[in-house]
Amino acid sequence: MSKPATDIPIPFSVSFMAGAVAGISEILTMYPLDVVKTRVQLQDNTAKGVDRYNGMVDCFRKIIKNEGFSRLYRGIAAPIMMEAPKRATKFAANDEWGKIWRNVFGQEKMTQGLSVLTGASAGATESFVVVPFELVKIRLQDKASKYTGMADVVKHIVKTDGVLGMYTGLESTLWRHIAWNAGYFGIIHQVKGALPKAESKKGAMVNDLIAGSIGGTVGTILNTPFDVVKSRIQNTVKVPGVTPKYNWTVPAVATVAREEGFGALYKGFVPKVLRLGPGGGILLVVFTAVIDTWKKTQVTA
């Protein structure tokens, strides 16, 4: 008798592979929005004239006009290399932490609270994987960047700050990923429970797209302030004997709000949510499709 596909346990390696495929699919589709988001976030009150971006559309226009269309894909090698381990870690860690927390709290199935806790735990785990890649990406995306490529960034950072310099911004990255994943996986659980049960494969895909997109939007609302200061922290070149203006997350958030207004903590929000809202849906749809395909190969007569 064949074993129902829904009852087949998913190994860590399969979750990891599915997350990797989902991540690469999302980054190839949405990367230009990430470049624009970073540019807007790095901009402070000193930017003037052609260096001043008045929103997402203006930033797109000026990059293409002044630097060429290809600049929208500047630094994509780092995130492509990052997306496989990053998204793979996200989904695989979420599955593994889900098992751990269900055992700790004696729950057979996930609840809303466990989904938030599991997502936060997965986000913290993911942070340790992504920091070096994020650091390289931010340095390359900056308009003032003089680096010739990924290897040049790594060489410069290691030379000036040592190997641990590749983990500049770890603390702010932890805040960013904990907030996003808690919101993303928590909302997915809630939305899926509220949606009508899918009666077909297409219906299930639509439900995943809706839940993932809403989850991505909520996660983005929660983590954008941390993302803004993370970009500032990672783009700061350390000077011996000088304390960086942007150093730790909470003081940096307070500094940006005080000097530029609360709204500055949501700089780059529009391109970010346009990427991670639909991007969250793409992630969930592709991840689920890969898992379902694997399950079909495991069903035996």
Per-residue model confidence (pLDDT) at position 284 = 87
80-92 average pLDDT score: 78
Percent of the chain exceeding pLDDT 70 equals 96
Give, as one character, the DSSP assignment of residue 111.
Answer: -
The whole-chain average pLDDT of the chain stands at 86
pTM strictly above 0.85? no
Report how far residue 176's alpha carbon sits from residue 162's, in angstroms, rounded to the nearest whole number.
24
Give the per-residue SS3 of 147-190.
CCCHHHHHHHHHHHHCHHHHHCCHHHHHHHHHHHHHHHHHHHHH
| pLDDT digit string, tens, across residues 260-293 | 999 999 988 988 888 888 888 888 888 888 888 8
Report how far residue 223's alpha carbon sits from residue 181's, in angstroms, rounded to the nearest whole number.
9
Angular region, 152: left φ>0, alpha ψ -120 to 50, beta rest: alpha
| pLDDT digit string, tens, across residues 147-178 | 888 899 999 999 988 999 999 889 999 999 99
Give, as one character, the DSSP assignment of residue 144.
Answer: T
72-97 average pLDDT score: 80
CATH number of this structure's domain 11-291 = 1.50.40.10
Q: Is it the case that residue 254 has pLDDT exceeding 90? A: yes
Q: Is it the case that residue 223 has pLDDT exceeding 60? A: yes
209-226 average pLDDT score: 94
Q: Where do the domains of the chain lie?
A: 11-291
Angular region, 58: left φ>0, alpha ψ -120 to 50, beta rest: alpha
Angular region, 236: left φ>0, alpha ψ -120 to 50, beta rest: beta
- Token pair recorded at residue 232: 């500032």
Per-residue model confidence (pLDDT) at position 296 = 82
Longest distance between any two alpha carbons in the chain, whole Å:
71
Q: How far is CA 213 from CA 58, 82, 147, in A?
A: 25, 21, 35
Q: Is it the case that residue 2 has pLDDT exceeding 70? A: no
| pLDDT digit string, tens, across residues 170-200 | 999 999 999 999 999 999 989 988 999 888 8
Q: Is it the case that residue 44 has pLDDT exceeding 70? A: yes
Per-residue model confidence (pLDDT) at position 39 = 86
Reported as a pLDDT band with limits 50, 70 and 90, residue 7 is: low
Per-residue model confidence (pLDDT) at position 4 = 46
Per-residue model confidence (pLDDT) at position 134 = 83
The residue among 263, 284, 153 whose CA lies nearest residue 212 is 284
Q: What DSSP string runs through 251-279?
A: HHHHHHHHHH-GGGGGTTHHHHHHHHHHH
Report how far residue 50's alpha carbon sits from residue 41's, in angstroms, rounded to the nearest whole number.
16
How far separated are the first and last CA of the chain, in Å rounded?
6
Per-residue model confidence (pLDDT) at position 300 = 54
Per-residue model confidence (pLDDT) at position 6 = 52
Q: Is it the case that residue 67 has pLDDT exceeding 60? A: yes
Candidate from 21-30, 76-85, 113-122, 229-238 with smallest mean pLDDT:
76-85
Is the distance from CB of 223 to CB of 127 less than 8 angstroms? Answer: no
